[in-house]
Amino acid sequence: MNKPKILILGAGYGGMISATKIPKHLGANDASITLVNKHNYHYQATWLHEPAAGTLPADRARMLIKDVIDTNRVNFIEDTVTLIKKDENKVVLEKTGEVDYDYLIVALGFESATFGIKGLKERALTIEDLNSVRQIREHIEYQFSRYHNMETKEDHILNIVVGGGGFTGVEFLGELANRIPELCREYDIDRQQVRVVNVEGSPTILPMFDKDLVAYAIQRLEEKGVEFKCGHVIKECQEDGVIIGRRDSEETEKIKAGTIVWTGGVRGNHIVEDSGFEVVRGRVTVTEDLRVPGYDNIFIIGDCANVPNPETERPYPTTAQITIQEATYLSKNIKKALNGEPVEPFIFNDMGTVASLGHGDAIGIIFGKTKLKGTSAAAMKKIIDDRYLLKLGGVGLMLKKGKLNLLSK
Ligand code: FAD
Ligand code: NAD
């Protein structure tokens, strides 16, 4: 009898944990496993704000997929998914063509959501993957490098606007606040000439944290020169700046800037919507065992899935934390799924959240109640980062690539 074919799409947190853990729960004769990813490397999306600001080399946030998966058990295809033919059990890849499956795990991750705001898609830079963050770093350096050689000085080219003060926006601001003084020294620019402005639509940044932690974050970032425009939304993005205003008011103002980085929200990968799945913001609302309703052989995990919180019936925020738990759960239950046996529902264990404010500083709340700020929160963030590497590739990977690393250069 032919072995069932398991096809995993995407080698982010969901795809990599699935590709490393499923072989541990299935014998070599139970199924063939294939992983598809558009690059030959896996990157940690949770670190992207650092190479974006230039505080970490992009290479530190990535690793070759073949160095982590067991290539005797998992066939890796470096290719881009263009369509999922869910009624034919096939996936279309850009170079390889059609690949068929018996069981599909969709883990294609997130992309920026620009909500149709005029000019944003065309003109703002985004924190989406390694290539997009390299562009941010280089763009900022380019603006600094050309300043002195301009015939007519346009001071605004040194200004940086960050649109959105959620987790990604704040973590990026934290890194940027540390990087700007270095850049100023490097390019002979007075720090006072550079404005870093965060525009956040809600009355406060990071509204999910308690007020005292938010106040701490604002104070720390303001001390390093970040300006906050809370209660203001970006209404339009232009070549040389953004138009902002209050949500319910016609009155607007322009902030001129040479760099505009959009961190105002994410959605599920467009491939899912393009393939005809029913989505909300690019995400499929999955069943309690993470399948697509009506398609028992398709599982969706990570940022392409809406997993409802049974207490509130609202979806959990999409995070690496929940994605890793989903992939671990799926790997443990895959044998039962292959045998057509019922599986227990997925239960999310919320361990807490930490938002970095730049090197050595952070705020967080762990195990539902313990608040952390400063160095203790920053240490916790590194522990969370390294715990993932330990889970993915054992002590060796953690020592080589981790934040508390001993072996990496
Ligand atoms: P991803 O990690 O996005 O991986 C998707 C993979 O699919 C990628 O390898 C991509 O190359 C590949 N892919 C995409 N399209 C295609 C295609 N068409 N064909 C083939 N391959 C494709 N969450 C936390 O829990 N804690 C944090 O501290 C945290 N920090 C974050 C910091 C930043 C700056 C950002 C942006 C996000 C952060 N998150 C954090 C959220 C977290 O990164 C995401 O929830 C997580 O990456 C989702 O994992 P995933 O496996 O679904 O997708
Ligand atoms: P988000 O949706 O959490 O935050 C986006 C922010 O942009 C919101 O505060 C929103 O009010 C604001 N916004 C939206 N439209 C705007 C506009 N027109 N003008 C100004 N502000 C606007 O998105 P994110 O920060 O990219 O995070 C995405 C996901 O990744 C979330 O689930 C988050 O929890 C997760 N994440 C977690 C961490 C962490 O745990 N440390 C870090 C980064 C991201």
160 and 257 share one domain: yes
242 and 157 share one domain: yes
Q: What pLDDT is recorded for position 83?
A: 98
Q: What pLDDT is recorded for position 405?
A: 65
Q: What pLDDT is recorded for position 74?
A: 98
How would residue 152 be classed by pLDDT, with cut points 50, 70 and 90?
A: confident
Task: Say which CATH number the domain at 173 has.
Answer: 3.50.50.100
Q: Any idea which ligand is nearest the CA of 362?
A: 2
How would residue 282 be classed by pLDDT, with cut points 50, 70 and 90?
A: very high
How would residue 258 be classed by pLDDT, with cut points 50, 70 and 90?
A: very high
273 and 316 share one domain: yes
Residue 167 has pLDDT above 80, yes or no: yes
219 and 185 share one domain: yes
Residue 170 has pLDDT above 60, yes or no: yes
Taking the CA of residue 301 as reference, the ligand 1 atom at the shortest distance is 52
Q: Which of 321, 349, 377 is the last residue of a domain?
A: 349
Q: Is residue 142 part of a domain?
A: yes
257 and 165 share one domain: yes
The burial of 315, by beta-carbon neighbours within 10 Å (0-12 exposed, 13-18 middle, 19 or more buried), is given as middle
275 and 294 share one domain: yes
Q: What pLDDT is recorded for position 367?
A: 86
Q: Is residue 82 part of a domain?
A: yes
Q: Is residue 202 part of a domain?
A: yes
Q: Which of 303, 324, 349 is the last residue of a domain?
A: 349
Residue 180 belongs to domain spanning? 120-264
Q: What residues line ligand 2, using a CB cutoff of 6 Å?
A: 117, 163-169, 171, 199-202, 233-234, 263-266, 317-319, 353-355
Q: Is residue 147 part of a domain?
A: yes
Is residue 301 within 8 A of residue 11, CB to CB? The reply is: no
Q: Is residue 401 part of a domain?
A: no
Averaged pLDDT for residues 150-166: 92
Q: How many domains does the chain contain in total?
A: 2
Pocket residue to mutate for ligand 2, from 115, 319, 366, most atoms within 8 A of Cβ: 319
Reduce the secondary structure of the chain to three states and give it as a string.
CCCCEEEEECCCHHHHHHHHHHHHHCCCCCCEEEEEECCCEEECHHHCHHHHHCCCCHHHHEEEHHHCCCCCCEEEEECCEEEEECCCCEEEECCCEEEECCEEEECCCEEECCCCCECHHHHCEECCCHHHHHHHHHHHHHHHHHHCCCCCCCHHHHCEEEECCCHHHHHHHHHHHHHHHHHHHHCCCCHHHCCEEEEECCCCCCCCCCHHHHHHHHHHHHHCCEEEEECCEEEEEECCEEEEECCCCCCCEEEECCEEEECCCEEECHHHHHCCCCCECCEEECCCCCEECCEEEEEECHHHEECECCCCCCECCCCHHHHHHHHHHHHHHHHHHHCCCCCCCCCCCCCEEEEECCCCCEEEEECCCEEEECHHHHHHHHHHHHHHHHHHHHHHHHHHHCCCCCCCC
297 and 340 share one domain: yes
Per residue in 211-222, pLDDT tens? 999 999 999 999
How would residue 409 be classed by pLDDT, with cut points 50, 70 and 90?
A: very low
Q: Which of 322, 349, 376 is the last residue of a domain?
A: 349
238 and 226 share one domain: yes
Residue 408 has pLDDT above 80, yes or no: no
How would residue 404 be classed by pLDDT, with cut points 50, 70 and 90?
A: confident
Residue 407 has pLDDT above 70, yes or no: no
Residue 348 has pLDDT above 60, yes or no: yes
Residue 68 has pLDDT above 60, yes or no: yes
Q: Is residue 393 part of a domain?
A: no
162 and 252 share one domain: yes
Averaged pLDDT for residues 138-161: 92
306 and 340 share one domain: yes
Distance 45 CA to ligand 1 centre (A): 5
Q: What pLDDT is recorded for position 154?
A: 86
How would residue 123 be classed by pLDDT, with cut points 50, 70 and 90?
A: very high
* Predicted complex ipTM exceeds 0.95: yes
Taking the CA of residue 111 as reference, the ligand 1 atom at the shortest distance is 3
Q: What pLDDT is recorded for position 406?
A: 52
The two structure tokens encoding residue 284? 């499929």
Pocket residue to mutate for ligand 1, from 108, 127, 128, 388, most atoms within 8 A of Cβ: 108
Type of residue numbered 249: S
95 and 126 share one domain: no
183 and 275 share one domain: no
Taking the CA of residue 170 as reference, the ligand 2 atom at the shortest distance is 25
Q: Is the pTM of this model over 0.80?
A: yes
How confident is the prediction for the chain on average, in pLDDT? Answer: 96
Q: Is residue 104 part of a domain?
A: yes
Q: Hey, which residues are catalytic here?
A: 171
Residue 243 has pLDDT above 80, yes or no: yes
CA atoms within 13 A on the CB side of 295: 24
Q: Is residue 358 part of a domain?
A: no
